[in-house]
Structure 1
Amino acid sequence: MAKLPLSPIRAGGKPTRASEHRLEIDGLSFEVHRSDRRKTMQITVERSGELSIVAPSKVASEQLVDFVEKKLLWIHTKIEEKSRLQQRAPSKLFVEGEGFLYLGKSYRLRLVDNQLVDLTLKNGRFCLRKNSIHRGREIFVAWYTRLAQPWFETQVLEHANRMGVVVKEVKVQDLGFRWGSFSAGGRFSFHWKAILLPPRIAQYVVVHELAHAHHSDHSARFWNRVEQHLPDWQWRKAWLAENGIQVEGL
């Protein structure tokens, strides 16, 4: 992949390097995605701190550089903000009325005296046995994992049929900062927290990982594959980067 020459040194004192799929400026590295459907440029700061730009196909690299330079203060502020939010994400207290997400909706917690199981979701409320509060996080994680397994199995198989992907295994587990992962041989894993996301966002995570069965990197071919099956993937990806932090803290 041929790279453009270094641009003149700008006010910040650091050279800029641009290529077809990546832009490096001010010590930051951006993954560049182009689309014929895109009308404007947009910068996304992932919760992991990774940076990406979505731009119309015909936008020149020089325009991308100018766009990023004008947004540098906002970008650095956003990176610091996400870092602080991750460090200070409040832990759940498992008290009456506290909200817990499930498939994008928040349900209030009700503490009950008598219940056959530790946790249920009924009548629009999470019901937790009072004598199980000390194991609250463990109970919720187990509940989310159990419900996420069949949900993601269904989604993976449904989209895999359309994307020409052979699926051997679907697992739900703690993946740290990753929403999902793909391993050779048709094995897919998803973070249990992904079941807290709205369905359309969780579906993007599924299609993203299925596309990796065809392309291991995040090349233009990879994003073209995603776009074939989710034409509106860009806003879903941006929503996840902007709002995914809200599922932290359990």
Structure 2
Amino acid sequence: MPSLPLSPIRTGGKPAKLSDHRIEIDGLSFEVHRSDRRKTMQITVERSGELSIVAPSTVSTEHLVDFVEEKLLWVHTKIEEKSRLQKRAPTKEFVEGEGFLYLGKSYRLRLVEKQLVDLSLKNGRFCLRESSVHRGREVFVSWYARRAQQWFEKQVSEYANRMGVIANEVKAQDLGFRWGSFGSDGRVSFHWKAILLPPTIAQYVVVHELAHAHHPDHSAKFWIKVEQHLPDWRWRKTWLAEHGIQVEGL
């Protein structure tokens, strides 16, 4: 359901705009999530720079705005920090001993002279054929995309059944700053980089996208649906926002 139109208010001498699910203040826009189970307020800065607040259902609008104003310096600092990290994300080198993530674990790279395939994962190491080093990124992206396709197809099948969702197609591809998307045609897509995340976090991405089959926006009903299947979704969402940057650099 669409949010109500934003309307200006003034708290502590500063102008702000509010709707049921969003606060705009100091040039920043925060998506608001309320919960009866929540005891405290928390602001999260997403990997993409998007901002969200989780708050108890009983917190007044004025108190929520005051909280945001108190945290503005911290928020601006985190946004700037994430921007710097993304710009400085170390580019992987396809050399002996370099570490590459897969489902949350880091595996060292071994260069091998003879191997039937460009890349394999065996005995706890990524093995890259020496003759393929010059196109290492292409090889790794292809390998990750294939594994992501298989892994997410299985996860979607399991969770779609539980959540009463019909997923017509699952696809692993480059989605830019998005971890996933759910189309009105029942097609669900995931960024191939999501296969680098720990399984519990990647599962959150799955449930998040499938919940959009019931609620296309991020309304309270959407988060209730997510919570029905992942009661601990908040820490997973926070982990993704704080640590998802780790998968950059390939």
Both proteins in one fold, TM over 0.5: yes
- What residue number does 1:136 align with? 136
| Separation of aligned partners in 1, 2:50 and 2:145 | 27
Q: Secondary structure at the match of 1:107?
A: strand
Q: Deviations over 1:124-175 (max 9, x none)?
A: 1111111111010000001101111111001001000111101110011111
| Separation of aligned partners in 2, 1:207 and 1:129 | 37
Q: Secondary structure at the match of 2:32?
A: strand
| Separation of aligned partners in 1, 2:82 and 2:170 | 30
| Separation of aligned partners in 2, 1:124 and 1:63 | 51
- What residue number does 2:34 align with? 34
| Separation of aligned partners in 1, 2:113 and 2:11 | 70
Q: How has the CA–CA distance of structure 1 residues 124 and 23 changed in structure 2, closer, same or farther, with 3 Å as cutoff?
A: same
Is 1:49 matched up with 2:44? no
What does residue range 110-125 of structure 1 map to in structure 2 within 5 Å? 110-125=110-125
State the percentage of identical aligned residues. Answer: 79
Code of the residue aligned with 2:41 in structure 1: it is M
| Separation of aligned partners in 2, 1:194 and 1:8 | 40
Is 1:79 matched up with 2:79? yes
CA contact (8 A) 2:182 2:210 kept: yes
| Separation of aligned partners in 1, 2:76 and 2:141 | 33
Identify which range, 17-26 or 108-117, moves more after superposition: 17-26
What does residue range 45-194 of structure 1 map to in structure 2 within 5 Å? 45-194=45-194
CA contact (8 A) 2:11 2:62 kept: no
CA contact (8 A) 1:9 1:16 kept: no
| Separation of aligned partners in 2, 1:24 and 1:9 | 15
Match of 1:7 among 6, 10, 16: 10
| Separation of aligned partners in 2, 1:5 and 1:174 | 38
Identify which range, 32-41 or 187-196, moves more after superposition: 32-41
Q: Deviations over 1:195-229 (max 9, x none)?
A: 00000110111111101111111111111111111
| Separation of aligned partners in 1, 2:32 and 2:93 | 41
Q: Deviations over 1:8-42 (max 9, x none)?
A: 453xxx40223321111111110010112212111
TM-score, length-scaled by structure 1: 0.95
CA contact (8 A) 1:182 1:209 kept: yes
Q: What is the CA-CA distance between 1:3 and the residue it aligns to? A: 6.5
Q: Secondary structure at the match of 2:162?
A: helix
Q: How has the CA–CA distance of structure 1 residues 151 and 193 changed in structure 2, closer, same or farther, with 3 Å as cutoff?
A: same
- What residue number does 1:247 align with? 247
Aligned residues: 247
| Separation of aligned partners in 2, 1:17 and 1:70 | 16
Code of the residue aligned with 1:183 in structure 2: it is G
